[in-house]
Chains A and B, each alone.
Chain A
Amino acid sequence: MALLSKKDANLILDPLADNNPITIQVLGICSALAITAELKASVVMALSVIFVMGVGNVVISLMRNLIPSKIRIIVQLVVVASLVIIVDQVLQAFAYELSKTLGVFIGLIITNCIIMGRFEAFALGNGVWRSFLDGIGNALGYGVILVIVGFFRELLGSGTLFGIPVFGDPVAKTGLYSIGYENNGFMIIPPAALIVVGIIIWVQRSKNRALIEEA
């Protein structure tokens, strides 16, 4: 017996690939550029968004028959904003170093268009369980791209993964650096994230030609 029906499973799996919020819908790009210089920050941002989306979608779905349509956008904003403040405070209390690195970007989750988009497009019209899956699925799709971008940017830009040196010591010239390898400082700055996202989009579309939009 499957844990999830096929329809429900698709709610999680679709956003991971064929309907990815970043590479297909091109939403949530701003945070994908801003915080992916390090893998650790990418992972935490992904986890925070998974939490906010999962809980947010459930809350909105629970209230969907009560929310007056005149003020529904405000209600959605209040829900995201409160959840984000809670995430921020919990990080400050239990992962202080990390909350300093993420700083303003945690606040920026509020403006992440994926979240408002899913509230508006899905949670307002669907049941609690399906909204929860949809939220988790979209956040995972967003998180996967974040982690891929963070992986390449940290590896090529700083020569580390999760802060652990991979290629040797650039100052003491050990490992790869002893044969003339250099870290690419360009990967650290935000435009590099655009290029990495672009490459992911290219790879994804050349694997699945159905995704290519008509010009």
Chain B
Amino acid sequence: MAIDTEKNSFTVLFAVIMVVVVGSVLAFFASGLRPRIDENERFEKQQNILYAMGVNQNEGAGDVNFIPTNVVEEEFSKYIKEQLILTDAGVEQKEEAYLIDLKKQIAALKNGQEAQLPIFIGEKDGKKTYILPMYGKGLWDAIWGFMSLDENMVVQGVYFDHKGETPGLGANIKQRYFMDDFIGESLLDGNRLAGIGVVKGNNDPANTDKEDNEVDALAGATITGNGVTAMIKESLKLYEPYLKTIRTN
């Protein structure tokens, strides 16, 4: 029996069956793979936080090398001593605070709602560091990162990442040579929490001056660089009340 595929009723029937079949196949894949994808995202966040506090597998100059995913969970619980959230009510301990999405918290603050700002206390070779998450805008899309500080407000390490900056230009904020420049920079200008600016032509390309609140910019990535500057400033503003309580200078 030949089917008249041009009849309207057949067209509708075909469309309905197609939607049901495709919908179930996609739902099957999505729910089947979800746990694995979630785990990948969790490991990535742990790797990034550890990277910012200097726990990584970098050798000499060159590439960014994270702690391998198969041991990251172990290392994370070893190096991260406390996970805190800052709320209106004060500072609280919270397990798995690192899974909090900072973007949502910043949006909540803007709407005048209560937010939970995560901050992590790590300890490496007996030295305590405070790791702040950051979230901001680059040229095309979101940029984010983590920064670890000590009690003197000196940067111990950073990690930056981005959603869609230009490859070879703005995307280089996640390259070693850019991120390494931040290490040892002081966030203080006098007594003020000033942050670190990404600036062009600061006469310090080798980054020997650690008190100038500046690192050398990336050529061809002015707006991404400005985004990093603004992101650091924004994050320090959010965490300033807490940082005041831990500062020793």
Could you tell me which A residues sit within 8 Å of B by CB distance? 37-38, 65-71, 74-75, 78, 82, 85-86, 89-90, 92-94, 96, 103-104, 157, 163, 169, 171-172, 185, 188-189
Given A66-B3, A188-B168, CB of A78 within 8 Å of CB of B33: no
Given A68-B5, A71-B15, A171-B177, CB of A104 within 8 Å of CB of B164: yes
Q: Is the CB of A68 within 8 A of B14?
A: yes
The residues in B between 32 and 79 inclusive whose CB is less than 8 angstroms from any CB of A are: 33, 36-37, 40-41, 44, 61-63
Chain B residues near A92 (CB-CB < 8 A): 33, 37, 40
Selected A-B contacts with CB under 8 Å, 12 pairs: A65-B5, A68-B5, A68-B11, A75-B14, A78-B22, A82-B22, A92-B33, A93-B33, A96-B44, A171-B61, A188-B167, A189-B169
Partner of A86, one of B15, B26, B40, B44: B26
Chain A residues near B36 (CB-CB < 8 A): 93-94
Q: How many residues of B contact A (CB 8 A)?
A: 30
Chain A residues near B41 (CB-CB < 8 A): 96
How distant is A3 from chain B, measured CB to nearest CB, in Å? 32
Chain A residues near B61 (CB-CB < 8 A): 169, 171-172
Q: Is the CB of B168 within 8 A of A93?
A: no
Chain A residues near B223 (CB-CB < 8 A): none
Chain B residues near A65 (CB-CB < 8 A): 5
Q: Is the CB of B6 within 8 A of A68?
A: yes
Chain A residues near B164 (CB-CB < 8 A): 103-104
Q: Is the CB of B33 within 8 A of A90?
A: yes
Q: Is the CB of A189 within 8 A of B33?
A: no
Partner of B29, one of A67, A71, A89, A172: A89
